[in-house]
Amino acid sequence: MHMDLETNLSIIQRQIATACENAQRDPSEVTLLAVSKGHKIDRVHEASELGLNCFGENKIQEAKLKIPQGPRNAEWHFIGHLQTNKARDAVRLFHMIHGVDSFHLAEALQESCEKQARTARILLEVNVSGEASKHGFSPAEVLEQIENLNDLDRLEIHGFMTMAPWTPEPEKTRPVFRQLNNLRKECEDIMGVPFPVLSMGMSNDFEIAIEEGSTMVRIGTSLFGKRSYAKKKA
């Protein structure tokens, strides 16, 4: 198992390096977020031994069990759809919350932060492709609401996150990633502050995402293999 992980990681790192070379970017600009959802904590420790320290989870219940058992230096990122009634846990458990997909959720996070005397690092999730099945602000909503979102003083908006539609031809995702990068630049112009993080690219399409400016690729399957969704114990 450990061997597989090591091999997978070196393949991914080479792919990241090649994509960076294509785009004349420095590989140090791209963080590999190891998506550990659906995998046991042992796998996280193995990955940690190989030098990875950013992990992604998409369910609060699963994260609550795993994070306390994780490596000490691990940085946990929430990448799922967050319900407002879980805002409290998300703020407590995670280094960064990627899926802030509505003003309502942002307000719930702000309130939780106030109660816990914390701040939260967030990314705004944008539904660039407009697919009905996807969560997120539309690009127009981001432009309308960025100032109000920025007024929520307990939230640090670090940037943006998107999921491209799945396609057997990753090249087709390029316009989605390019649009998110352009939206980021527009928001930087409006607000006069940097939004440095672009969380985009998964196993299927991360090389294209990097060529279009991704600073954080969220990779599960290519790194850890297929997820097993075992039934939860009662």
Ligand X SMILES: *Cc1c(COP(=O)(O)O)cnc(C)c1O
- Pick from 10, 62, 69: nearest CA to 35: 62
* SS3 assignment, position 33: strand
Q: Which residue is nearest to ligand X (CB)?
A: 220
Q: From the list 19, 36, 37, 53, which residue makes contact with ligand X (rule: CB under 6 A)?
A: 37
CB of 149 to ligand X, least distance (A): 20
Q: Which of residues 38-67 bind ligand X (CB under 6 A)?
A: 58
- The minimum distance between CB 84 and ligand X, in angstroms, equals 19
Q: H/E element holding 218?
A: strand 216-219
Q: Are 158 and 123 in contact (CB under 8 A)?
A: yes
Stretch that binds ligand X, among 66-74, 84-92, 188-196, 201-209 (CB under 6 A): 201-209
If binding is defined by CB under 6 A, does position 220 make contact with ligand X? yes
**Which stretch, 4-12, 47-55, 136-144, 199-207, contacts ligand X (CB under 6 A)?**
199-207
Evaluate the CA torsion angle 111, 121, 134, 39 in order and state its sign.
Answer: negative
* Cβ neighbours for 37, distance < 8 A, ≥ 6 positions apart: 56, 57, 58, 59, 62, 79, 80, 220, 227
# of chain residues touching ligand X (CB under 6 A): 13
Q: Which stretch binds ligand X (CB under 6 A): 7-15, 109-117, 137-145, 196-204?
A: 196-204
Least distance in Å: CB of 114 to ligand X? 27
According to DSSP, residue 213 is labeled T
- Taking CB under 6 A as the criterion, the residue among 35, 60, 91, 208 binding ligand X is 35
The CB-of-73 to ligand X minimum distance in angstroms stands at: 22
Taking the complex as a whole, how short is the minimal distance between the CB of residue 204 and ligand X, in angstroms? Answer: 6
Which residues ranging from 138 to 167 are in contact with ligand X (CB under 6 A)?
163
Q: How far is CA 59 from CA 66, 76, 159, in A?
A: 11, 12, 21
Q: What whole-number distance in Å separates Cα of residue 101 and Cα of residue 230?
A: 28
